[in-house]
Chains A and B, each alone.
Chain A
Amino acid sequence: MNYLSFLNKLLIASAVILILTLFMNLQGQPEMNQPHPDMQRLLHDLTVENWELFEENYYNRDNLFDYINGGAELYLSYGFQGLITRLYQRGEQPDIIVDVFDMGTSPNAYGIFSHSCEQLSNEIGQGSQYTMGLLQFWKNRYYVSILASPETDESKETIFKIARVIEKRIETEGALPTILDYLPKEKLLPASIRYFKHHAWQNTYYFITAENIFNITSNTEAVLAKYQDLGILMLIEYPREEDASVAQDNFIRYFAPEDPIKKVVRIEDGTWTGERLSGNLLIIVFDAPEEAAVHELLNAIE
């Protein structure tokens, strides 16, 4: 085989490989840019009486910013996988925006729902909330938001009709985050529970610090909850006991340096704070009115 013949064969082989690679990429692409069939089914042939479907779009982790810009970080921090959004229009009535988020797992769907929960209802899905034109609910791995702003009687009624259809199409319920099992039930304010995996949300009720002193990451489970007359409980479950121990040391360093043994102190605003470590679970109480309240909450956890 002479050199030119060899070169020709090499060029042909390279071209074939290139074409095959491109073909395989193109084959893979629709899967990347289209919603999962389970998700598509939730809105398939969904008609809304008197409202006309104006547009439908799909967003994934790469382009969610195009839809909700900076807010996308919130959803990404909860494991967002995909979003189908639909816009319905009707004359002078407000547009209805239906957003169905696939959060990958039911704990993540619960987490994003809990993030902005003010009044908890069980009317739709596994938990719902209606606030002036906005209905949010979660069921299984899906978090659903239906918005019509400003609210009208007709749009409100339609929002609930749409929600019931979608809810029914999500056939099974999903599990709650297991860390919620640790929360004592007595005096718990249920709508106050916040489940999260990013330190940005640790300050929801009470400014602790703007930094990640407890090393809350996507590998940890964290929950905040308010208790009537007792204070704020924060639980963080770490992959390993050593990780929890490091976070405990940081609590002592920044919040209880004067009493590293008892680890329950009265801080400068007169409230009490304290912590207890149980294996890989760090239990912290903030904003308690008295020392006994800290102990009551710390000791209520098995």
Chain B
Amino acid sequence: MKKKIITRRDFLKDSASFALAGSLMTQLPVKMLAEEGRKSRVVLIRHQDVLDKDQKLQEEIVSEMLDQAVTTLTGASDVKKAWKQLINPTDIVGIKSNIWHYLPTPPALESAIVSGVRSAGVVEKNIGIDDRGILRNPIFKNATALINVRPLRTHYWSGVGTLLKNYIMFVEKPSDYHDDTCADLAKIWKLPHIEGKTRLNILVMFTPLFHSIGPHAFNAQYTWAYRGLLVGLDPVAVDATGLRILLARRQEYFQEERPLAPPAKHIYLADSRHHLGTADPAKIDLIKLGWQDGALI
């Protein structure tokens, strides 16, 4: 099938059909599409004090934020009921974390997730946290439920490191999914050992990395204290929301258009090509909780 080419001019002149791609690949304003069908709920929760003056995470606040986000996401009356909606007591739960040295999934958040899963009745021996070793980890091999959690950051090849990309460690040879700047990462989510198992997606937005330089891609100058978490059931909706925040930060910091190079097209294609979820803001029910200053969305 011949690949459809979408250019900047398509984004600008077409008010509907290319609006979605335009809002994900540039800092062009989001044009809301006609509402249709059920929306994907995404909870953005932020807390001004989750980082202290030395940028150290406050564990109790992290835990409170997660509880509040999960409760709102599920619409449950309390946090325990919320976790029970997501996880069954008999589940074997793999928490897919991210150990990238400069911006790992914070251990405080991992602990808060484990507490939540425990509160749903899962015994400790049936809960595992891992990243690079998941293919050999017995918990992940036998997992009946997955929780996906990682920080948002720019990435040299996929444009941005996302929840979608976090599952690349579920394949033996990750570079098999690097073609066309990681365009088809969503395929991984349809593999038999993964499909249908993900119960919760958490994009960590405490100090996202919005620009990469050097071989290690990290520089503290290009992180900012956003102090938030994005939580949802639909990984595409959560990633798309995170990406819009990150693009807005790039615009704010550089004071000019600075698209991601390469563009994070894997998010757009996860929706339009692979139908894994929605990246369309008109189909995302974004609920903003907590601190609102500088939300950028």
Q: Assuming A149-B219, A201-B262, is B157 touching A74 (CB within 8 A)? A: yes
Q: Does A136 contact B (CB under 8 A)?
A: yes
Is the beta-carbon distance between A207 and B220 smaller than 8 angstroms?
A: no
The 9 A-B pairs of least Cβ separation, nearest first, read: A268-B12, A116-B213, A200-B262, A207-B26, A207-B259, A209-B7, A74-B156, A204-B261, A73-B157
Is the beta-carbon distance between A213 and B215 smaller than 8 angstroms?
A: no
Instruction: List A178-214 residues whose CB lies under 8 Å from chain B.
Output: 200-211, 213
User: Which of the 9-residue segments A35-43, A64-72, A239-247, A292-300 touches chain B?
Assistant: A64-72
Is the beta-carbon distance between A268 and B6 smaller than 8 angstroms?
A: no
A118 to B255, CA, bound (A): 14
Q: Does A147 contact B (CB under 8 A)?
A: yes
**Minimum C-beta distance from B207 to chain A (A):** 12
Closest to A136 in B: B214
Chain A residues with Cβ below 8 Å from B215 are 68, 71, 75, 99, 101, 145
Is the beta-carbon distance between A205 and B258 smaller than 8 angstroms?
A: yes
Is the beta-carbon distance between B156 and A149 smaller than 8 angstroms?
A: no
Chain A residues with Cβ below 8 Å from B13 are 268
Closest to A199 in B: B262
Chain A residues with Cβ below 8 Å from B217 are 68, 71
**Minimum C-beta distance from B70 to chain A (A):** 30
Instruction: List A113-157 residues whose CB lies under 8 Å from chain B.
Output: 116, 118, 129, 131-134, 136, 145, 147, 149-151
CB-based A-B contact count at 8 angstroms: 119
22 sample A-B contacts, Cβ–Cβ < 8 Å, listed by A number:
A68-B217, A70-B161, A71-B155, A75-B215, A99-B215, A134-B214, A136-B213, A136-B214, A145-B216, A149-B219, A150-B220, A200-B181, A203-B25, A205-B258, A206-B259, A207-B25, A207-B257, A209-B8, A210-B25, A210-B263, A213-B7, A268-B9
Q: Assuming A131-B213, A136-B214, A145-B215, is B8 touching A207 (CB within 8 A)? A: yes
**Minimum C-beta distance from B110 to chain A (A):** 21
Q: Does B141 contact A (CB under 8 A)?
A: no
Q: Does B178 contact A (CB under 8 A)?
A: yes
Contact of B219 among A133, A201, A203 (CB under 8 A): A133
Chain B interface size, under 10 / 10 to 19 / 20 to 34 / 35 or more: 35 or more
Q: Does B71 contact A (CB under 8 A)?
A: no
**Minimum C-beta distance from B245 to chain A (A):** 18
Chain B residues with Cβ below 8 Å from A75 are 215
Is the beta-carbon distance between B182 and A131 smaller than 8 angstroms?
A: no
Chain A residues with Cβ below 8 Å from B5 are 209, 211, 213, 254
Chain A residues with Cβ below 8 Å from B7 are 208-209, 213, 254-255
Q: Which B residues lie at the A interface, using CB under 8 A? A: 3, 5-9, 11-13, 25-26, 102, 155-158, 161, 174-175, 178, 181-182, 212-221, 256-263, 265
A151 to B8, CA, bound (A): 39
The majority secondary structure among interface residues of chain B is loop
Chain A residues with Cβ below 8 Å from B213 are 116, 118, 129, 131, 134, 136
Q: How many residues on chain A are close to B (CB under 8 Å)? A: 42
**Minimum C-beta distance from B190 to chain A (A):** 21
A97 to B157, CA, bound (A): 22
Q: Does A267 contact B (CB under 8 A)?
A: yes
Q: Does A31 contact B (CB under 8 A)?
A: no
A39 to B33, CA, bound (A): 56
Chain A residues with Cβ below 8 Å from B9 are 254-255, 267-268
Is the beta-carbon distance between B178 and A73 smaller than 8 angstroms?
A: yes
Residue from A70, A129, A268 with most neighbouring chain B CB atoms (10 Å)? A70
**Minimum C-beta distance from B99 to chain A (A):** 11
Chain B residues with Cβ below 8 Å from A70 are 155-158, 161, 174, 178, 182
**Minimum C-beta distance from B150 to chain A (A):** 13
Q: Assuming A71-B217, A116-B212, A149-B219, is B175 touching A206 (CB within 8 A)? A: no
Q: Assuming A70-B178, A71-B157, A207-B26, is B219 touching A134 (CB within 8 A)? A: yes
A211 to B3, CA, bound (A): 9
Contact of B262 among A133, A210, A267 (CB under 8 A): A210
Closest to B213 in A: A116
A151 to B218, CA, bound (A): 12
Is the beta-carbon distance between B12 and A205 smaller than 8 angstroms?
A: no
**Minimum C-beta distance from B188 to chain A (A):** 14
Q: Does A49 contact B (CB under 8 A)?
A: no
Q: Does A302 contact B (CB under 8 A)?
A: no
Closest to A250 in B: B5
